[in-house]
Amino acid sequence: MKLLVFQHIECEHPGSMRQLLSSDGIDWDVVELDAGEDIPPLEDYDALWVMGGPMDVWEVEKHPWLVAEKAAIRTWVREMKKPYLGLCLGHQLLADALGGICGPQRPPEIGILDIELTQDGQMDSLFAGLPLRQKCLQWHSVQVVTPPNDTTILAKSIACPVQAMRVDRCAWSMQYHVEVESDTVANWADIPAYHDALIDTLGPEGFALMAEGAKEHLGDFEGYAGTIYRNFMSAVTKTDC
């Protein structure tokens, strides 16, 4: 099994799931799109993960590589029909690439917040073994407003009705983060756009509040990530997901 990972900033990587990949001996390649790296032939890979980033899906003039990335996602999901996992920006890119619509999240969702599985989410293979309600790390100012065709909504929150979705059978994505590690909040708070949004939303003590909340729930985050990882890898072994 060979995994391809699209990254949009160096510090937004697969996080806690890297150790799981290593333990399973999974061969995975990273394309750092913001650094100008080229997307390799998709035929060489069995699964695609698309991570988060500070840019917006519509900023194609500022980040022209978004055009090629969206085309690759569209080819992967609609034509190749191979397993996909998107987190935060990767969730939004899945929607945008397949004809959905993304727009501003007002107010932004930033903090350790609740999401809830929908009835479809409770029956979906990716979330098997997870609780109905979960604490998660949110750090986004954009949301999926209109999902693509063939989408099933899997999770929601009060502020954001499309917290997780599945497109067709094999493409899953989440607006929230499951890959959290002990240094995630500190690393992301060093990104100016993230730092400013954090302070604007949570106030001067925003970093301390976020770091404390992430530390308190880190064990749950790691457990949820492990469950999602195992469920996703199980899906990869099935030809029809």
For residue 109, give the nearest of 85, 144, 84, 133 by alpha carbon.
Answer: 144
pLDDT number for residue 129: 97
Classify 26 as helix, strand or coil: coil
Q: Is residue 203 part of a domain?
A: yes
Counting DSSP H helices and E strands in the chain, the numbers are: 7, 9
77-98 confidence digits (pLDDT tens): 999 999 999 999 999 999 999 9
Strands 151-156 and 133-146: unpaired
d(CA 100, CA 151): 10
Q: Is residue 35 part of a domain?
A: yes
Q: Is residue 217 part of a domain?
A: yes
Task: Write out 2-24 in H/E/C secondary structure.
Answer: EEEEEECCCCCCCCCHHHHHHHC
Is the peptide bond between 108 and the residue preceding it cis, with omega within 30 degrees of 0? Answer: no
**How many residues are present in the chain?**
241
d(CA 187, CA 31): 20
Q: Is residue 32 part of a domain?
A: yes
Q: Is residue 241 part of a domain?
A: no
Q: Is residue 173 part of a domain?
A: yes
The residues that bridge with 47 in the sheet, in sequence order, are: 3
Percent of the chain topping pLDDT 90: 97
Catalytically annotated residues: 88, 177, 179
186-226 confidence digits (pLDDT tens): 999 999 999 999 999 999 999 999 999 999 999 999 999 99
Burial (0-12, 13-18, 19+ Cβ within 10 Å), 214: buried
pLDDT number for residue 174: 98
Does this model's pTM top 0.85? My answer is: yes
Tens place of pLDDT per residue across the chain (241 aa): 999 999 999 999 999 999 999 999 999 999 999 999 999 999 999 999 999 999 999 999 999 999 999 999 999 999 999 999 999 999 999 999 999 999 999 999 999 999 999 999 999 999 999 999 999 999 999 999 999 999 999 999 999 999 999 999 999 999 999 999 999 999 999 999 999 999 999 999 999 999 999 999 999 999 999 999 999 999 888 767 6
d(CA 215, CA 210): 9
Indicate the number of domains in the chain.
1
Domain extent, residue 80, equals 2-236
What's the CATH code of the domain at 134?
A: 3.40.50.880
d(CA 179, CA 169): 23
Q: Is residue 33 part of a domain?
A: yes
d(CA 145, CA 102): 5
